[in-house]
């Protein structure tokens, strides 16, 4: 019976349509081995059923709950207790107690007892694991309780998982189990079908410091199977083809959000099988908007393409985990696992201290006194402890004050091990203050120290040589360095985004507390928090999990909407409504509406929410429309992004900044007005100057190379000063000033990329060059006038500065080097240099052909150069101000030749320039740019017979409505046309043969298409002939845009091929009657494979045999490798067709190297 069902015609067609035309070999393999595959499917179903039964029995033994998944929680008895005579009250567990004094209140939260309801005999041992999994976990004897409970669902099913457990409970190993399941299936698939390695897993980690550690673990995990993992950060420059070589990508939510905003990067989703999200509780903070966008985008993309993707979310414990599970589309009965603090490997006792003093000075004195008391108490018990402070300056200040405490000196056990290790080991610290502190048994760890200093301090603390370590939050993430006691001194941290002080992030607090307790040495750990009495209730509520997670999408709702409009996920108002239904914002609005909106009293609950959502969407769309990021949607009912909208999305810039730069950006020639405009954006307007910053800003201003005109207004000058201070690498004493500087630099990097893209779009070369220079200067922390050899010093760290002083480089050119100085010349051999050869000729009156041969003249070194070096190729006008044409090319390390050939077709305007300039600029290296003048008057070319072409109607009789529409559209096309496009379009319409048109970017591509169609429509109308035009493009979204545009302009019968609409025998006649047929290659492929047998026509003959007159192929060079199969069959079937003499091709493409072969 199974074989009869499989041999059914509908089933065969379903397999072909599912595989697609690009998987012809796969379809052949299925047809040839159909009986073997059916037997495999039959037995696999039996195995799966047996596994389901075993999973049910395993889960029945581990949990009694079913409605809300597997919830393991000891519910404490909460009692309401008043702290003092104030109006607030504290909610404490039953066993908690508090100590009241005149200056502070102290609440002790005892450690929870370990969960004992599960029999230890049911713990999974690695000996019982399958062989393919035992190979990886051979260093582990058995799983812990949490891992044993989740193991059946993680390894035997493909269900989405949500695991909420305390820090340090082994959640990462569960993620590795799900990764190994995907790995096993991938190996099986590759062994049969011999496919190339593609990305199957994406791991999202909250911080860059965690990425490197996770990448090493995963790479070690899958290396035995000959797979690789990579870390993807802002510094990584990897193409899509290079990313596909890695089985696993580890990145941050922000980076993956930007990566998936481009529609061409959606191929990552096509083969993606597993998405692991670590620390998903960041949804409650501003950074969570990126994660919320990613999950909604993946859910919508999976539903549109019917692609199954497994999501595994890991988090610390919080109250509304059910809402997060619903947002992730997780089955609440099978995929939700919640474990409270009783499942910690090393239980923690918490100590919360609330200081009653409001005066800052008195508050600091009491805080230090309590801190040193807790330190001495731990030293008496010979325990190690980590003290977390919130600035680099405080880490040294508190450490130095501790050395002056007599009680600390008395308790310090100066063992011979400590003294001998310092004497025998030749430690070299770049920061001289550290050695004095280490002799007292104190260490300091922050991001301001060098990597060498931090590594030595970590090793000394790990070896128990250092007992007390003062650190910032950087140690809480990444480096696993546990201690018996963790003290968090103060909860106020400076936020540069709001230029104010705010409470400590709950995620950071949990990570800091997670460093308490050493499972190999201690049976329990201790976590101490010192805060103000007003915030004591907040942190107790957080630790009792009484504060729910809320969505932060409203803070950047308009930008999030624009991002998914630009990548095609949202195409109209209905799809935008569906998009918001998939967000965490909608989940929380339905559960806690008063947190987001004020409900009315007359309307029902759901009606009010629906009205609020529609109002929110319309207001955001109107903002985008006013700023020019989308086209007018009121008439077309389609949401189509503009070029500015794409720039805003791809550069992750706010729509307000895009509107500001689009209106105010001019072709700047000097740095001062450019910097003033750059620092005037909305992101930096909230930065204020504090009283303790005025003196230091005044001192820093005297060291600036670029001076501001308004010397007295420090509020407007602060960003201006700190940007130059960062490039100059000047030391800053004030901690808040330093934090503001880091925030300004991060924002400026993103804004410079935005300005660069806008300058390219508008053709402003001076602004483009300035934005590129400042991007490189910020990256290297060097001015553009510095010696370029200093860049090698930053990379190698062992450069001889005496040589720099001895032989100074002239400021304008790289080639003027003292050839007699061998050392000097050696360093210059690593700096990219080229020799250029140009072959120039006129292809037409206004088209210049430039063949560029670039020969590399530098030595490639893996320590100095990246995997690829990137360069800009710019053609400028005679004044060097306007960009005529631009390109972006790469120089790879592993190439067979040291030269590269580039071919360009450059459009020129009347009057012809006497010169144009070819400018090559490095996107990474300072002062690596080459300018070559191209003389045009010495070249031979034919002058045009007419300098302008005007349209005149060929009809003398009064025009009908349709004729007036054609004439009106002709007139608009001529106004918008550049002259070279006008001449080109005249030749295209005059020829009757096939045409291949190579168009540079930004050359009125859409206007040229409209002009060709207008001529075709006019010709058919005047000669009473049927209009049969077929338009092919690469993406369905381009079909929708072109279809909407034509419906507005022409009253023609236009249709888009959509395979989901069905097919019948009458489809042939319907298609034949259409004036204009618009289709993408994907839809045509699916349409033919799905309905070709019903119409009794061969693949692709359906469209080629019945369509004639004109076939337009748009953007042939866009991702040409994927389209190669389709278009080869396209042209081949047309040549074989009986009606091939009636078909005419017009093919548009960008410049490619093998244009003659094409």
Question: Which residues on neighbouring strands pair with residue 493, listed in sequence order?
Answer: 502
3-state secondary structure of 726: helix
Q: Which residue has the higher pLDDT, 1157 or 528?
A: 528
pLDDT for 1067 beyond 70: no
From the CB of residue 1119, how many other CB atoms can be counted at a distance below 10 Å? 14
Evaluated on CA atoms 506, 511, 516, 519, the torsion sign reads positive
Query: Confidence band (pLDDT; 50, 70, 90) for 801?
Result: very low
Mean pLDDT of 366-374: 91
Whole-model pTM: value is: 0.77
Evaluated on CA atoms 230, 231, 232, 234, the torsion sign reads negative
Segment of 240-254, 721-735, 941-955 carrying the highest mean pLDDT? 721-735
Query: Confidence band (pLDDT; 50, 70, 90) for 646?
Result: very high
pLDDT for 945 beyond 70: no
Q: What is the DSSP letter of 483?
A: B
* The pair of three-digit structure tokens given for residue 378, joined into one six-digit string: 């731990």
pLDDT attached to residue 49: 58
- List, in sequence order, every beta strand (DSSP E) within 21-102: 70-72, 79-81, 90-92, 97-100
If you search the block for the tokens 């044993």, which residue do you land on? 148
Which tens digit of pLDDT belongs to each residue from 280-297? 988 988 889 999 999 999
DSSP code string of 112-168: PPPP-SS-GGGSPBGGGS-HHHHTTSTT-SB--HHHHHHHHHHHH----EEEE--TT
Q: What is the DSSP letter of 111?
A: P
Q: How far is CA 736 from CA 367, 478, 684, 687, 1042, in A?
A: 20, 24, 15, 11, 52
% the chain with pLDDT above 70: 69
Question: Which residues on neighbouring strands pair with residue 1145, listed in sequence order?
Answer: 1111
Q: Which residues have a Cβ under 8 Å from the Cβ of 241 and sit 6 or more positions away?
A: none
Closest listed residue to residue 519, CA positions, set 642, 344, 380: 344
Q: Please state the φ and ψ torsions of residue 1133, each to the nearest 5 degrees.
A: -65, -35
Which tens digit of pLDDT belongs to each residue from 818-853? 333 444 556 778 888 888 889 888 766 677 888 899
Could you give the strand order of the β-sheet that contains 915-922, starting from the edge strand earlier in sequence? 883-892, 868-876, 915-922, 929-935
* The pair of three-digit structure tokens given for residue 333, joined into one six-digit string: 């009965």
Q: In a 10 Å sphere around its CB, with 0-12 CB exposed, 13-18 middle and 19+ buried, how is residue 967 labelled?
A: middle
Does residue 1017 contact residue 1039 with C-beta atoms inside 8 Å? no
Which tens digit of pLDDT belongs to each residue from 123-170? 888 888 888 888 888 888 888 888 988 999 998 888 999 999 887 788
Q: Which residue has the higher pLDDT, 1016 or 1050?
A: 1016
The region of weakest confidence among 159-163, 261-265, 423-427 is 423-427
Which tens digit of pLDDT belongs to each residue from 75-122? 544 444 444 434 455 666 667 888 888 899 998 888 877 765 566 667
DSSP code string of 603-668: S-HHHHHHHHHHHHHHHHHHHHHHTTSB--HHHH----B-HHHHHHHHTT--HHHHHHHHHH----
Give CA–CA dist 1040/1037, Å, rounded.
Answer: 5
């Amino acid at each position: 019976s199974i074989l009869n069902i499989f041999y059914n015609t509908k089933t065969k067609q379903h397999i072909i349509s599912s595989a697609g035309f690009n998987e012809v070999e796969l379809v052949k393999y299925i047809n040839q081995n159909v009986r073997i595959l059916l037997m495999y499917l039959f037995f696999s179903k039996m195995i799966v059923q047996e596994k389901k039964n075993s999973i049910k029995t395993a889960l029945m033994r581990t949990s009694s709950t079913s409605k809300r998944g597997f919830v393991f929680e000891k519910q404490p008895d909460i009692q309401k207790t008043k702290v003092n005579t104030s109006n607030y009250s504290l909610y404490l567990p039953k066993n908690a107690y508090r100590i009241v004094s005149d200056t502070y209140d102290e609440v002790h939260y005892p450690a929870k007892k370990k969960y004992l309801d599960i029999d230890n005999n049911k713990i999974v041992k690695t000996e019982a694991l399958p062989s393919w999994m035992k190979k990886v976990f051979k260093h582990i004897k058995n799983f812990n309780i949490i891992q044993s409970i989740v193991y059946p669902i993680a390894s035997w099913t493909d269900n989405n998982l949500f695991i909420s457990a305390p820090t340090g409970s082994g959640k990462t190993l569960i993620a590795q189990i799900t990764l190994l399941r995907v790995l096993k299936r991938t190996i099986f698939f590759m062994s049969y079908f011999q496919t190339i390695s593609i990305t199957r897993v994406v791991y999202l980690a909250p911080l860059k410091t965690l990425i490197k550690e996770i990448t090493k673990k995963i790479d070690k995990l899958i290396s035995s199977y000959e797979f690789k993992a990579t870390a993807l950060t802002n510094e990584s420059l990897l193409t899509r083809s290079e990313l596909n070589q890695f089985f696993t990508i580890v990145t941050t939510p922000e980076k993956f959000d930007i990566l998936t905003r481009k529609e061409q990067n959606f191929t990552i989703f096509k083969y993606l099988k597993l998405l692991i999200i670590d620390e998903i509780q960041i949804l409650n903070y501003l950074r969570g908007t990126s994660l919320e966008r990613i999950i909604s985008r993946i859910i919508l993309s999976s539903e549109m393409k019917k692609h199954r993707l497994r999501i595994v979310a890991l988090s610390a414990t919080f109250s509304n985990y059910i809402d997060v599970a619903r947002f992730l589309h997780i089955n609440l009965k099978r995929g939700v696992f919640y474990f409270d603090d009783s499942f910690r490997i090393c239980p923690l006792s918490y100590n919360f201290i609330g200081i009653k003093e409001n005066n800052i000075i008195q508050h600091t004195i009491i805080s230090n006194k309590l801190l040193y008391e807790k330190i001495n108490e731990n030293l008496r018990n010979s325990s190690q402890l980590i003290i977390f402070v919130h600035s680099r300056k405080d880490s040294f200040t508190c450490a130095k004050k501790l050395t002056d405490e007599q009680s600390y000196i008395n308790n310090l056990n100066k063992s011979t091990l400590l003294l001998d290790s310092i004497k025998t080991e030749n430690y070299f610290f770049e920061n001289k203050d550290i050695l004095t502190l280490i002799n007292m048994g104190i260490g300091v760890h922050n991001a301001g120290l060098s990597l060498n200093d931090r590594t030595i301090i970590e090793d000394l603390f790990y070896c128990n040589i250092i007992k007390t370590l003062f650190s910032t939050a950087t140690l809480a993430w990444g480096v696993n360095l546990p201690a018996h006691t963790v003290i968090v001194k103060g909860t106020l941290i400076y936020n540069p985004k709001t230029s104010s002080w705010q409470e400590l992030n709950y995620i950071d607090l949990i990570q800091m507390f997670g460093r308490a307790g050493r499972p190999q040495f201690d049976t329990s750990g201790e976590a101490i928090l010192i805060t103000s009495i007003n915030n004591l209730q907040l942190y107790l509520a957080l630790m009792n999990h009484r504060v729910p997670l809320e969505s932060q999408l409203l803070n950047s709702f308009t930008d999030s909407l624009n991002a998914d409009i630009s990548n095609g996920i949202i195409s109209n108002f209905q799809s935008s409504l569906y998009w918001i239904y998939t967000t965490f914002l909608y989940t929380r609005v339905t559960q806690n509406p008063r947190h987001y909106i004020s409900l009315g009293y007359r309307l029902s609950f759901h009606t009010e929410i629906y009205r609020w959502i529609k109002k929110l969407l319309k207001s955001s769309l109107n903002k985008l429309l006013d700023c020019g990021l989308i086209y007018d949607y009121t008439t077309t009912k389609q949401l189509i992004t503009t070029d500015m909208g794409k720039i805003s999305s791809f550069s992750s810039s706010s729509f307000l900044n895009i509107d500001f730069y689009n209106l105010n950006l001019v072709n700047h020639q000097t740095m001062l007005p450019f910097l003033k405009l750059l620092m005037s954006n909305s992101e930096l307007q909230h930065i204020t100057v504090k009283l303790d910053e005025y003196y230091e800003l005044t001192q820093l201003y005297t060291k600036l190379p670029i001076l501001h005109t308004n010397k007295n207004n420090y509020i407007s000058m602060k960003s201006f000063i700190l940007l130059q201070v960062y490039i100059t690498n000047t030391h800053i004493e004030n901690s808040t000033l330093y934090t503001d500087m880091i925030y300004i630099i991060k924002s400026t990097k993103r804004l410079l990329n935005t300005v660069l893209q806008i300058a390219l779009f508008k053709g402003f070369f001076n602004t483009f060059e300035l934005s590129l220079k400042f991007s490189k200067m910020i990256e290297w922390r060097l001015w553009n006038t510095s010696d370029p050899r200093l860049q090698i010093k930053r990379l190698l760290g062992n450069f001889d500065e005496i040589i720099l002083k001895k032989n100074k480089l002239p400021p304008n050119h790289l080639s003027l080097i003292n050839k007699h100085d061998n050392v000097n010349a050696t360093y210059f051999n690593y700096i990219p240099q080229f020799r250029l050869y140009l072959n120039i000729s006129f292809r037409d009156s206004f088209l210049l052909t430039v063949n560029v041969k670039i020969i590399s003249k530098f030595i490639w070194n893996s320590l100095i150069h990246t995997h690829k070096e990137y360069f800009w190729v710019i053609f400028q006008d005679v004044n060097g101000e306007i960009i005529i044409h631009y390109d972006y090319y790469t120089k790879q390390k592993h190439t067979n030749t040291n030269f590269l050939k580039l071919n360009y077709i450059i459009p020129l305007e009347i009057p012809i320039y006497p010169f144009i300039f070819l400018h090559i600029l490095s996107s990474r290296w300072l002062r690596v740019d080459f300018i070559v003048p191209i003389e045009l008057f010495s070249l031979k070319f034919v002058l045009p017979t007419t300098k302008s072409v005007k349209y005149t109607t060929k009809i003398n009789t009064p025009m009908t409505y349709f004729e007036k529409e054609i004439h009106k559209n002709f007139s608009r096309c001529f106004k918008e046309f550049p002259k070279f496009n006008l001449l080109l379009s005249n030749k295209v319409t005059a020829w009757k043969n096939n045409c291949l048109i190579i168009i540079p970017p930004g050359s009125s591509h859409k206007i040229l298409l409209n002009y060709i169609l207008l001529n075709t429509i006019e010709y058919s109308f005047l000669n009473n002939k049927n209009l049969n035009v077929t338009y092919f493009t690469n993406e369905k979204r381009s079909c929708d845009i072109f279809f909407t545009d034509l419906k507005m302009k022409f009253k023609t019968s236009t249709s888009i091929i959509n395979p989901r609409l069905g097919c019948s025998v009458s489809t042939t006649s319907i298609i034949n009657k259409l004036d204009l047929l618009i289709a993408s290659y994907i839809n045509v492929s699916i349409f033919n494979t799905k309905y070709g047998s019903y119409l009794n026509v061969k693949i692709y003959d359906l469209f080629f045999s019945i369509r004639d007159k004109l076939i337009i192929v748009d953007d042939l060079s866009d991702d040409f490798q994927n389209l190669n199969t389709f278009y080869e069959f396209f042209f081949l079937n047309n040549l074989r067709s009986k009606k091939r003499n009636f078909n005419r091709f017009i093919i548009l493409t960008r410049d490619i190297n093998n244009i003659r072969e094409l």
